[in-house]
Amino acid sequence: MGAHPSPRSPGAGGTPTGVPTAGDPGSGPAGGQSQDGLQAGLKNRHLSMIAIGGVIGAGLFVGSGAGISAAGPGILLSYALTGLLVVLVMRMLGEMAAASPASGSFSAYADRALGRWAGFTIGWLYWFFWSVVLAVEATAAGAILTGWVPAVPQWAWALLVMIVLTGTNLVSVGSFGEFEFWFAGIKVVAIVVFIVVGALAIFGLPPGDHAAGMSNLTGHGGFLPHGPGAILSGMLLVVFSFMGSEIVTLAAGESPNPVQAVRKAVNSVIWRIALFYIGSIAVIVTLLPWNDRAVAKSPYVAVLESLDIPYAGTVMDVVVLTAVLSCLNSGLYTASRMAFSLGQRGDAPKSFATVNKGGVPAVAIWASVAFGFIATIFSYTSKATIFQFLLNSSGAVALFVWLVICFSQLRMRRTLERETPERLTVRMWLYPWLTYATIGLIVFVIGYMFYDPDGREQMVLSVVAAVVVLAVGLILDRRRPRERAADESAAKVAERA
């Protein structure tokens, strides 16, 4: 174990000091293919839309109602604080990704900076998280489609969307990018239109009948009707809706210019969070009372219906379905690339690191979707037991990922400054003090989850899952030196023979 990773197989990236050389994967694709074998088929417009739309998940459209009910208008502070946390973490990840784009992103960096056990643990936890998300999103898509076509059972719709999106990921990374481009585009347009329409109504312009003003922000118990502590409770409800911001750093390695893509995504994360999350939530809590039952159920539909927008429910169902399919599509891509990276580094079956003629890690995709299928079955047969356990044991992975990114950046930054400072084209602000502050905030949120009755079970089970994966990683890490020694001994015997 120790701070430095053990020797790598070709393509895993990283010298013994943890700084990749110019020949490592992620230095940029050559001839349409990155040096790890993945096809560089993502165009700039794909990455731009993935970066913009990646932070907009179905949780924003549906789950934000629970946050508003818990914190009232003060949910804006919850989103702002969580958004600040994401901005800082993304800046750190962007610093490392711009210096060395890699298919495993933060897992590969943790491997280099903290040790093989760290990359193994966070990589498999992240894969687990997104594989469970596949089941969640497939089930949600099935529910929406069954509402439109009741003759087809929900499980059949869930199966169909899984098959279709698995097919697009297997064809080529370009087909994934094209689907995600349009999915993300619809989400972005929907949010922008919602904010514009809502802003007009706030100031008394059509489609609103009169100016809403600030009465809903200060009335109904005030801006913080449940007290300042509700801001933290709100953070626990919204923190996981930001998971996905990091996907662009994984996808960048399959683009013509990964460094430029990462830099652009990191620099735009502030306005993306401010506009899509804080902007749209501000419209909701300004136009409607926070304690309105319709807001708790479906806040975006409630606003549109209050403005007499025709077919508001149907329109939002289409948008939510798009968000669900986008999340499923991205989740399958992300899980497969993490599995591919783990396979490259010897932390998963070697077959995971193989690619087909199209430069796609087909085995890693099939392995990820297989787990997703199993989890989907549990969502119908054992929803209150096994499936709920899967949800809770993966629920806090986002916080673990962010924490590992912070510690990895602390180590890699020092090495990069010493050995290859020219690679620091993106720099974390006020290093290392702002990194330390971010670590402190994440640890505080984790501690509050243990304290909060609603978050305690999720955090406890997530920690148990992390400890189990970590233990496996440490055991495997201890066995590898013995295996290498046995291989070398066998090789010498063979030579003498």
Report residue 335 CA to chain centroid gap. Answer: 10
| Partners of 30 in the β-ladder | 33
The predicted model gives 320-347 an average pLDDT of: 90
**What pLDDT band is residue 32 in, cutting at 50, 70 and 90?**
low
Report residue 58 CA to chain centroid gap. Answer: 13
Q: Using DSSP, state whether 33 is helix, strand or coil.
A: strand
Q: What is the pLDDT of residues 235-245, one digit of tens each?
A: 888 887 888 78
78-87, 235-244, 285-294: segment of lowest average pLDDT: 235-244
pLDDT over threshold 60, residue 463: yes
**What pLDDT band is residue 335 in, cutting at 50, 70 and 90?**
very high
* Average pLDDT across the chain, whole number: 83
Q: What DSSP line would sit under 91-127, residue for residue?
A: HHHHHHHHHS--TTTHHHHHHHHT-HHHHHHHHHHHH
Q: What is the pLDDT of residues 348-358, one digit of tens each?
A: 999 998 988 88
Instruction: Quote the CA–CA distance of 35 and 42 in Å, as a whole number.
Output: 15
pLDDT over threshold 50, residue 18: no
pTM of the model: 0.86
Residues whose CB falls within 8 Å of the CB of residue 84, separated by 6 or more in sequence, listed in order = none
> Which amino acid type is present at position 389?
F
**What pLDDT band is residue 44 in, cutting at 50, 70 and 90?**
confident
The predicted model gives 130-151 an average pLDDT of: 90
